Structure formats: C-alpha cells, structure tokens
C-alpha cells in the first residue's frame, strides 16, 4: 500500500452530459477592435455560488527554535497526470468560508496540524492557466508552531478516498529538492515549483 503503486488503468473522452466535476465552456467575446470572436475553455463545477475563486493553496512554514524554517509539502496521486505530485496543502473553498478559514480547515484535515494565519497577507487571486481554464486560488500563509502540544503528534483527518503523505523541506533547500524529487519520478505542482524558482531568482539577483 503506497502512493507510488497507484496506476491509471484507462482513460476515455468524457461527454459534457456525463461529467459531474468539470465542464467545457464556449465564450463569445469582443476583441480590442470590437470584433466578435470565440474561445473554448474548461471549468470546475464545484465553485460555490457567489464566490469568485475555487480554493486555496497553503504556504505553511514550520517553526522550531534551532532548526531552519521548513515548508510543509505533500505527496498525492493525481489521476489527470497519472503521477504522484509534490504539492502544498490545498483545498476547495466551502460556501460561507473565508480563504483563511478554508486554509486552516484544509491544513488540519490533510495534515493534522493546527496552524495560525501568518502576518503575510494572503496572495492576490492567482489564475492557474487563464488561456485554458478559469481555475484560481489564493495562497494563504500559515505558521505552524511545533512547540504547541497539539502539533506534537498530528493526525490527519482524511476522507475515505484521500491518500496524502506530508513531509517538510527547509526553505533554503526547496529548489534542489524539487529537482531531486522530479528525477525520482514525482511531478512538481506549479505552486511548489514556482516558489522554488522565485527563491532561486531572489538568491541569484539579491535584489531584496
């Protein structure tokens, strides 16, 4: 029983009328010359009414005196790509929930950790692939105090169909760890990979 044993058995085209979680959309729009054009894209069906985003990605940094700050990551098999990914904890927002509430709830469910919202504001609303789909999220910054009693033996509260393994990487090692994990066969989620690129650019250019 391991994530690495998960396998795609088969794939097939899915008709719109048979799909429950995703859909295709045709958009007719006007270009800067007022000419009418059309575009094809995909959407999730899960966004609550009246909410303008799908969910959150959680930048959870673990703090313990004497050890370097570390980023909480997780492994999860993702059927759309047929691989185990390296991701930040994340989840879809519920109706009547703020992004921060969503982040603390998902963090606890997926990892067992009780986090606190950090003093870095949540990110801009970020669009994952805006030429192809409307999916988007806020990154929420959370700190996890490992000295707190309730964080000494965290117990994830996973649903029956969720299989997630958590681990940590020191911030300073994220860039090299992403490359090492990719070589081992893991797929790197864009949030993790782009944070790592950002760290490397900041290191190289020393502009801050």
Residues 162-181 interacting with a second copy (rule: CB under 8 A)? 163, 170-172, 178-179
Residues 6+ positions from 186 with CB-CB distance below 8 Å: 75, 83, 84, 85, 86
Residue 49 interacts with a second copy (CB under 8 A)? no
Name which position in 67, 116, 129, 157 contacts a second copy (CB under 8 A). Answer: 129
Instruction: Return the residue of 58, 103, 107, 195 that touches a second copy, per CB under 8 A.
Output: 195
Structure tokens given for 88: 């930040």
With contacts defined by CB under 8 A, name the span among 12-20, 97-105, 108-116, 148-156 that binds a second copy.
Answer: 12-20
Task: Spell out the residues 6+ positions from residue 131 whose beta carbon is closer than 8 angstroms to its own.
Answer: 41
159 binds a second copy (CB under 8 A): no
The HSE-up count of residue 14 (CA atoms within 13 Å, CB side) is 12
| 37 binds a second copy per the rule CB under 8 A | yes
Query: Scanning residues 69 to 128, which ones bind a second copy (CB under 8 A)?
Result: 69, 77-83, 85, 87, 120, 123-128
In the bound complex, what is the minimum distance in angstroms from residue 167's beta carbon to a second copy? 16
Q: Tell the smallest beta-carbon distance from residue 154 to a second copy (Å).
A: 20
Query: Residue from 146, 161, 169, 184 that binds a second copy (CB under 8 A)?
Result: 161
Residue 46: how many other CB atoms lie within 10 Å: 14
What does residue 127 show for φ and ψ, rounded to 5 degrees? -100, 125
CA distances from 148 to 12, 44, 74, 143, 169 (A): 48, 37, 21, 12, 20
């Amino acid at each position: 029983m391991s994530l690495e044993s998960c396998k795609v058995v088969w794939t097939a085209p899915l008709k719109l009328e048979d799909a429950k979680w995703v859909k295709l959309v045709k958009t007719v729009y006007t270009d800067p010359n007022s000419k009418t054009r059309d575009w094809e894209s995909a959407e999730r069906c899960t966004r609550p009414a009246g909410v303008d985003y799908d969910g959150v990605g959680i930048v959870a940094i673990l703090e313990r005196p004497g050890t370097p700050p570390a980023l909480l990551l997780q492994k999860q098999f993702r059927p759309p790509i047929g691989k185990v990914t390296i991701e930040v904890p994340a989840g879809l927002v519920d109706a009547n929930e703020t992004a921060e509430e969503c982040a603390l709830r998902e963090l606890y469910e997926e990892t067992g950790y009780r986090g606190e919202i950090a003093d870095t504001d949540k990110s801009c609303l970020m669009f994952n692939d805006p030429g192809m789909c409307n999916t988007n999220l806020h990154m929420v910054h959370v700190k996890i105090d490992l000295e707190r009693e309730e964080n000494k033996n965290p117990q994830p509260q996973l649903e029956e169909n969720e299989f997630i393994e958590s681990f940590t990487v020191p911030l300073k090692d994220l860039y090299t760890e992403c490359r090492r994990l990719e070589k081992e066969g893991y797929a790197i989620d864009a949030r993790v990979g782009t944070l790592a690129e950002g760290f490397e650019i900041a290191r190289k250019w020393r502009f801050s």
